[in-house]
């Protein structure tokens, strides 16, 4: 059975103290309440908090993610953070290719591909984000566009390495807008992406890859989204900043 994920992306939110409280609340709720044992809870927190937050997590049910990394191992890259730094701070997952980084920091598919390689070489798990704009969807090119993002950033990998990648489909028009893709729209795209993976790596490999949905996931719609056969969880922005909502999302998977 594919691994399921409830992943939070805090983005650039919360002070250190606020974050400590939120993290502790989520860890305690996930430990105390009934979360499907096949669900990995992941918290993508700001860089400066990673090292100390990793010491606050006392359950394998919760793991830490960074929200970015640089592909180089070390060197003169002022302000950047390498995979080995993240690893030494207790990080297990790295979110890469988020549309906000693609848009505001001009990150290309090729640059994201280099990050994928660095993360895998360091033994961490990339959470690879992809997704189309509203105008691409309206033009009917969304399936080709998102499939192309996978081709450009992942298809150089061996099957064994591809199996270590988590994919997050996040339609840009659904991020932070309160407009969620319908469960049918999410399922449709996830199936297209799984078929695209199968066309290169075969069905057996494609069936092993977890594909998360992101874009206005909340406690009220998670259950419907996560009940879709190709939706293996969520990458959650706004609702991950509220411990009760995020824990409820973590509990929204079919038994």
- In whole angstroms, the minimum distance from the beta carbon of 219 to ligand 13P comes to 12
**141 burial class (0-12, 13-18, 19+ CB within 10 angstroms)?**
middle
Nearest to 189 by CA among 213, 163, 210, 166: 213
Which stretches of the chain bind ligand 13P, using CB under 6 A? 9, 98, 170, 175-176, 214-217, 235-239
Cβ-closest position to ligand 13P: 237
- In whole angstroms, the minimum distance from the beta carbon of 205 to ligand 13P comes to 25
4 vs 98, beta carbon nearer ligand 13P? 98
**CA angle at residue 23 from 86 to 18, to 5 degrees?**
100
Active site residue 142: no
- In whole angstroms, the minimum distance from the beta carbon of 62 to ligand 13P comes to 17
- How far is residue 173's CA from residue 163's CA, in Å, rounded to a whole number? 28
118 vs 217, beta carbon nearer ligand 13P? 217
- In whole angstroms, the minimum distance from the beta carbon of 169 to ligand 13P comes to 11
The residues, ordered by sequence, that sit 6+ positions from 214 with a Cβ below 8 Å of its Cβ are: 9, 129, 131, 168, 169, 170, 174, 175, 234, 235, 236, 237
50 vs 95, beta carbon nearer ligand 13P? 95
Active site residue 98: yes
Catalytic option among 70, 98, 142, 190:
98
Coil, helix or strand for 255? coil
The helix (run of H) or strand (run of E) holding residue 109 is helix 109-121
Catalytic option among 107, 132, 170, 196:
170
Residues 216, 218, 224, 225, CA torsion sign: positive
98 vs 251, beta carbon nearer ligand 13P? 98
**Catalytic residue ranges:** 98, 170
């Amino acid at each position: 059975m594919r691994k399921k994920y409830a992943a939070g992306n805090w983005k650039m939110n919360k002070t250190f103290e606020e974050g400590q409280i939120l993290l502790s609340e989520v860890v305690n709720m996930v430990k105390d309440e009934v979360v499907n044992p096949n669900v990995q809870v992941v918290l993508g927190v700001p860089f400066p908090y990673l090292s100390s937050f990793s010491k606050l997590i006392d359950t394998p049910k919760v793991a830490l993610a960074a929200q970015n990394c640089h592909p180089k191992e070390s060197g003169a890259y002022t302000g950047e953070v390498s995979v080995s730094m993240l690893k030494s701070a207790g990080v297990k997952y790295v979110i890469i290719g988020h549309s906000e980084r693609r848009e505001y920091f001009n990150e290309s598919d090729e640059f994201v591909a280099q990050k994928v390689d660095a993360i895998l070489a360091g033994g961490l798990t990339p959470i690879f984000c992809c997704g189309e704009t509203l105008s691409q969807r309206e033009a009917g090119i969304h399936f080709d566009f998102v499939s192309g993002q996978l081709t450009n950033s992942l298809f150089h990998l061996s099957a064994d390495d591809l199996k270590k990648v988590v994919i997050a489909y996040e339609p840009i028009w659904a991020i932070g807008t309160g407009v969620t893709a319908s469960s049918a729209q999410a399922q449709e795209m996830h199936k297209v992406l799984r078929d695209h993976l199968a066309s290169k790596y075969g069905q057996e490999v494609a069936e092993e890859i977890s594909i998360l949905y992101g874009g206005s996931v909340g406690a009220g719609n998670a259950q419907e989204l996560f009940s879709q056969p190709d939706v293996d969880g969520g990458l959650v922005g706004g609702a991950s900043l509220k411990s009760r909502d995020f824990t409820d999302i973590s509990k929204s998977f079919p038994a």
